[in-house]
Structure formats: structure tokens, C-alpha cells
């Protein structure tokens, strides 16, 4: 019997979706190991966060109240202390900018192996972690035979746990060494072009190089207006600065998991697909019937976007 510890993530007072996804992943793992699922929430409004994290399958929520928001040294010390105290078989941390900031330090402090960017976790006497390599062309499966491992988990790979739970709440008194706090987060600034968080959108219309010209984007914006969709794009559109970098979907952009993803004039390169393949329904509009995007599309329209999109707008209007 071995336990699992997951670390929740919050930003500017709000828990991030990955926290609930980690509960799903952590519960599956804890079941496979016949153990408990512990959730840690560090800093911020820990009581309110704990209430929200009380989802089905969580056994205990440990709160650490040592400041307002993220701090590398506090997180590293708190997670390390919790892992020392609970001895979980696995520590799951979000594979996000924040998680990747402290996960290596936690693994180092615990003298654990670190496996990053997990897309699948299995336990059968040993923990195996699947991760993608070479722009998702290869999947590698890593077995950890140590007694404890730290794993960062890719967002949007597990569904979030939604139903309420009845977890015990433990205010964990972490003995944070003040002298070891060598950095302070002084503020939070949106990156340039961070006008919208496409990773939270339920309905995305995404545009690619097939649009040909910046002025033609107006057509796609009209489609977004009439359907209420969020506008996103493939990398060339953002590289051209026709849309902000924050709207880029893919390996060097954002991962999205909307209910509907409409790819217009996008070929379906692996680097793009890696960011949107977990969408519930994929619709592709492309004039090349052999475009790889059709391999993953649920619905496809082979046609000229300059004819198809106006027809769609008219139909919706």
C-alpha cells in the first residue's frame, strides 16, 4: 500500500484546472497502489482552496499557509517536508512554468528521480511513466524502481475531477527555514499578447497559413463573433504578429482542450497537433484532402476556406 501526493496550483487567487486533473491522475495511481491520495495546497487563501479541492477521491488535503502566492523556496521546502512526513510513493506536480520551477529542487532535496511531462502513469509493482519525445513522434515509457519518485504531469491529459468529496483537512505546520528563502516573487505581469487565455476556452476557431494575408483574418473574426468562439492560431500566424503569441496552439504555444476545435487552413503539423489533439470534437476545413489534420478530425470539410467560412457565417446568422 503506497500513497500519492499531488500539489495543487493557483494563480492570482484562482486554482488552476491542472489541480483537478492531478486529482484524477493521482486517484487512479493511488487506486493502483491501494493507497491514499493526499493533496497539498501551499499559500494563498488555503482554506478556500482546500474547500474547492475537496473532490471525490481525495483522502486528505494538507494546507501550508506561508505567504500569498508562489515562492520557489517555500514550495520546495513545504513539498519536501510533506513528502518526508507522508512518504508517498509518488509526488505529482503540474508540468507548468510554476511546477517546473520547483519540481527539480524537490526531487533533488528528496534524492528522488524526476520524470517530467507525464502523459500516462501506471503502477504494477513499479511506477511507469509515459512521455512524448521528438515533437510527439515517439513515446517513451520510463520505469522508476526507486521507492519514491517526483513526476510532473502535462496539463489537459486527464479529465478534471468534478464531484464533491469528503476529505480530511490538515493544516500542515511546515518548518520553513527563512534563511533558505533566497528569492521573492514581487509581482505578476501578463506576457505581451496575453490578452486571453485560450487554454480555458470551450469553443475555439483556429486559423492557419491558409488565410494567406493579415487582412483576411477579419473573415475568421466574423466567424468567431457569430459563433461565440475564441480565436486561436497556428504558429506562422503568431510569428507574423498577425495575432498575439498568447493565441498560439501547439508545442511552443498553448495546450487546449475545448469541446470544439475548428482548424481552418491548418495543415496539422505534429507541433500543432500536440497542442489540440485532446479537444473533444475536431473540425477541419482545408482545401487539401491529404492534409494530416484530417487524420485526427471528427468532421472535415475539403474546400476553399474563402468559400466555406462565409457560407458557415451565413448559415449561423
Ligand X SMILES: Cc1cc2nc3c(=O)[nH]c(=O)nc-3n(C[C@H](O)[C@H](O)[C@H](O)COP(=O)(O)OP(=O)(O)OC[C@H]3O[C@@H](n4cnc5c(N)ncnc54)[C@H](O)[C@@H]3O)c2cc1C
Indicate the residue among 126 and 239 with the shorter CB distance to ligand X.
239
- Of 191, 183, 223, which Cα lies nearest the Cα of 69? 183
DSSP string across 168-205: EEEE------GGG---------PPTT-S--GGG-SEEE
Task: For residue 251, state whether it binds ligand X (rule: CB under 6 A).
Answer: yes
CB 150 within 8 A of CB 103: yes
Interface segment toward ligand X; rule CB under 6 A; list 32-40, 92-100, 186-194, 261-269: 261-269
**In angstroms, rounded to a whole number, what is the distance separating the alpha carbons of residues 132 and 143?**
14
**Number of residues lying near ligand X (CB under 6 A):** 27
306 binds ligand X (CB under 6 A): yes
> Is 271 near ligand X (CB under 6 A)?
yes
247 binds ligand X (CB under 6 A): no
Coil/strand/helix, residue 42: strand
Continuous H helices in the chain? 17-32, 46-53, 72-86, 97-110, 217-227, 235-239, 270-273, 293-296, 305-316
Task: Output the smallest distance, CB 255 to ligand X, in A.
Answer: 10
Near ligand X by CB under 6 A, which window of 5-13, 19-27, 39-47, 245-253?
245-253
Residue closer to ligand X by CB (options 14, 304) is: 304
Q: How far apart are CA 139 and CA 126, in angstroms?
A: 19
- Please pick, from the candidates 250, 258, 284, 312, the single residue that binds ligand X as defined by CB under 6 A: 250
In angstroms, what is the minimal distance from the CB of 300 to ligand X? 11
Q: Is 44 in the site for ligand X (CB under 6 A)?
A: no
As to burial, measured by CB atoms within 10 angstroms (0-12 exposed, 13-18 middle, 19+ buried), residue 166 is exposed
Which listed range, 6-14, 48-56, 174-182, 263-271, lies at the site for ligand X (CB under 6 A)? 263-271
312 counts as binding ligand X under rule CB under 6 A? no
Q: 191 to 220, contacts with ligand X by CB under 6 A?
A: 208-210
Tell me if 288 contacts ligand X by CB under 6 A: yes
- Tally: H helices and E strands in the chain: 9, 17
CA 203 vs. chain centroid, Å, equals 17
Identify the H or E element spanning 262.
Answer: strand 260-264
Applying CB under 6 A, among 228, 304, 310, 311 the residue interacting with ligand X is: 304
CA distance 317 to 314: 5
Q: Which residue from 60, 39, 46 is spatially nearest to 167, judged by alpha carbons?
A: 60
**Applying CB under 6 A, does 278 fall inside the site for ligand X?**
no
Which lies closer to ligand X via its Cβ, residue 62 or residue 272? Answer: 272
Binding of residue 305 to ligand X (CB under 6 A): yes
Does 262 help bind ligand X (rule: CB under 6 A)? no
Rule CB under 6 A: choose which of 76, 90, 267, 279 binds ligand X.
267
* Residue 41 vs 283, nearer CB to ligand X: 283
Distances (CA, A) of 33 to 3, 127, 140, 190, 253: 7, 10, 22, 40, 35
Q: Is 98 in the site for ligand X (CB under 6 A)?
A: no
Could you say whether residue 300 binds ligand X (CB under 6 A)?
no
Contact status: 43 vs ligand X (CB under 6 A): no
**Site of interaction with ligand X (CB under 6 A):** 208-210, 234-236, 248-253, 265-267, 269, 271-272, 275, 285-288, 291, 304-306
Amino acid at each position: 500500500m503506497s500513497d500519492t501526493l499531488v500539489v495543487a496550483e493557483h494563480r492570482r487567487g484562482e486554482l488552476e484546472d491542472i489541480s483537478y486533473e492531478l486529482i484524477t491522475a493521482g486517484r487512479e495511481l493511488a487506486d493502483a497502489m491501494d493507497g491514499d491520495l493526499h493533496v497539498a495546497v501551499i499559500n494563498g487563501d488555503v482554506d478556500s482552496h482546500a474547500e474547492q479541492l475537496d473532490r471525490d477521491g481525495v483522502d486528505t488535503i494538507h494546507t501550508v499557509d506561508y505567504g500569498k502566492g508562489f515562492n520557489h523556496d517555500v514550495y520546495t521546502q513545504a513539498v519536501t517536508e510533506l513528502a518526508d512526513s507522508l512518504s508517498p510513493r509518488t509526488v505529482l506536480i503540474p508540468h507548468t512554468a510554476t511546477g517546473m520551477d520547483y519540481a527539480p529542487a524537490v526531487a533533488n532535496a528528496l534524492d528522488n528521480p524526476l520524470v517530467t511531462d507525464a502523459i500516462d502513469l501506471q503502477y504494477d509493482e513499479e511506477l511507469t511513466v509515459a512521455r512524448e519525445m521528438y515533437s510527439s513522434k515517439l513515446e517513451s515509457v520510463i520505469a522508476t524502481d526507486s521507492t519514491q519518485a517526483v513526476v510532473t504531469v502535462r496539463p489537459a491529459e486527464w479529465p478534471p475531477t468534478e464531484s464533491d468529496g469528503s476529505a480530511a483537512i490538515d493544516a500542515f505546520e511546515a518548518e520553513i527555514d527563512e534563511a533558505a528563502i533566497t528569492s521573492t516573487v514581487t509581482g505578476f505581469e501578463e506576457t505581451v499578447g496575453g490578452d486571453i487565455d485560450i487554454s480555458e476556452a470551450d469553443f475555439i476557431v483556429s486559423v492557419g497559413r491558409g488565410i494567406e494575408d493579415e487582412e483576411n483574418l477579419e473573415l475568421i473574426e466574423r466567424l468567431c463573433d457569430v459563433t461565440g468562439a475564441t480565436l486561436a492560431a497556428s504558429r506562422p500566424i503568431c510569428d507574423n504578429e498577425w495575432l498575439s503569441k498568447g493565441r498560439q496552439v501547439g508545442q511552443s504555444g498553448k495546450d487546449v482542450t475545448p469541446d470544439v476545435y475548428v482548424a481552418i487552413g491548418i495543415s496539422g503539423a505534429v507541433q500543432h497537433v500536440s497542442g489540440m489533439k485532446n479537444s473533444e470534437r475536431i473540425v477541419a476545413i482545408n482545401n487539401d484532402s491529404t492534409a494530416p489534420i484530417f487524420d485526427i478530425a471528427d468532421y472535415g470539410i475539403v474546400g476553399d476556406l474563402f468559400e466555406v467560412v462565409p457560407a458557415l457565417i451565413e448559415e449561423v446568422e
